[in-house]
Structure 1
Amino acid sequence: MGHWWTRNIIEPGKLPLLLALASFVLTFVITRIVVRLIRAGKGPFGNVKAGGLHIHHVVPGVVLTVIGGFGAVGSDRHGLGSAVSAVVFGMGAGLVLDEFALILHLDDVYWSEEGRKSVEVVVVTAALVGLMLSGFLPFGVNDLTEDELQNRAGVALSIGLNFGVALLALSKGKARMAIFGVIVPLVALVGAIRLARPTSPWARRFYRRRPRARAKARLRAYHHDRRWAGPRRRFQDLIGGKPDPEPVRPLPGRS
């Protein structure tokens, strides 16, 4: 265990990344527990206010992210300062991304359906950092041999091809596959080959005069969403809490 730790974490300089990931996940989990207790009216916790203004935890999150980021840039990669900065940065990032939906909508949508985006972004971020920690590098550079790495043209070509495949998957409406494809190119390749989602830019451009392709894309998207929407919502509710029910809108009055 000690040999593996030294060879795979200490020597490559991955300890700050590991500490940042651990503090990021731990901060998010603790934050969600606290806000769910506040929501349920349990425990000694309460909303932070200053002069009647509700201070969202994205505010201290931004401060910690800035401190940790600049601290990491200005410290030695293998020193104690780098490790401390990584922990501070991870804590700040956890607080910020926990309210990603608030930043996106510029509205307090924490317990609404839109608030699910925060949980999704946190899970995706943790997964991507975990892949990098495991040895995967963006655009598949880790798949190149030593001779290929020394050839700058080969590296640039590999990055360009992988980036293009990720963009193709994104244009087909496969955002998650495109994001993960930046780290694992095979994922983006699968998304680029498969049918585009019916509302994607690719479908609007290339399926416009192909009714059979449009119908097939709609059918596949319907079955995919029906199969995975329920499990995805339950997973998000387990991590972040169930959103508030949508208010019932009254029917318009008859004239």
Structure 2
Amino acid sequence: MTDFTSCTVAVSCLLPELEQPARLLATRLQLPLQTVDINTAAAELLLCVGSDGLSLQATGSGAPGAVRVDFVEGALAHRRQFGGGTGQMVAKAVGLRGAIRPTVLDATAGLGRDAFVLAALGCEVTLIERQPVIAALLDDGLQRARQAGGEVAEIAERMHLLHADAIEAMDRWSAEAPQVIHLDPMFPHREKSALVKKEMRLFRPLAGDDLDAPALLAAALHLASHRVAVKRPRKAPAIDGPPPSAQLSGQSSRYDIYGKKKL
């Protein structure tokens, strides 16, 4: 049975004609199907099948708005066009410069934002997400991006999603080793933006904190051929393990960089 940590989750459909795909999704994720009004649902979180794809919605009074993965429009489209290219912190941390575009494994993919930025800049990116609901949202966003055509579809074709436990997947990796592994473990930090608050309210009950972050780092250091880049809140301690060889700090976050050899 799928482990959904500390909250109850169900699948719902926003339109009657979408009940069949919602039923199939519920079966695949081993979740109940609820076809009730969102305000009277028994589950704490609803994975909603709508005409514009999947969304995750909390229920009850005072619940934050729905979260979905959208690579075509909105914040990620703006970041793709105006985000600063290889000057972005994630690009620097991964080692993009000049014509260098390493292969990247994003082992804590989440909603895929960092992976999308790296793919938009020309990297081939493999994404691993272990939480089934978050993986479903990410897969839905990638499918819609590929269907959109044009530049966004080309970017999405450089993104390859695996639904797996990252530590297990890295330990049994049989393909060519990624040059760079990107990690962004869940951490009990307190960014103040409304977007982060909304997502954290939805995702923390699902995913919990990554208490196995030291094992995640160890597996990444063993697999990566060139470097591991770990995203952390700016004032958070480094993950237990060997000290980073370099750090890159921004306003609210930083990267701990573990170099193995030059890209």
TM-score when normalising by structure 2 = 0.22
Q: Considering only CA atoms, is the larger Rg found in Structure 1 or Structure 2? A: 1
Q: Which has the higher helix share?
A: 1
TM-score when normalising by structure 1 = 0.23
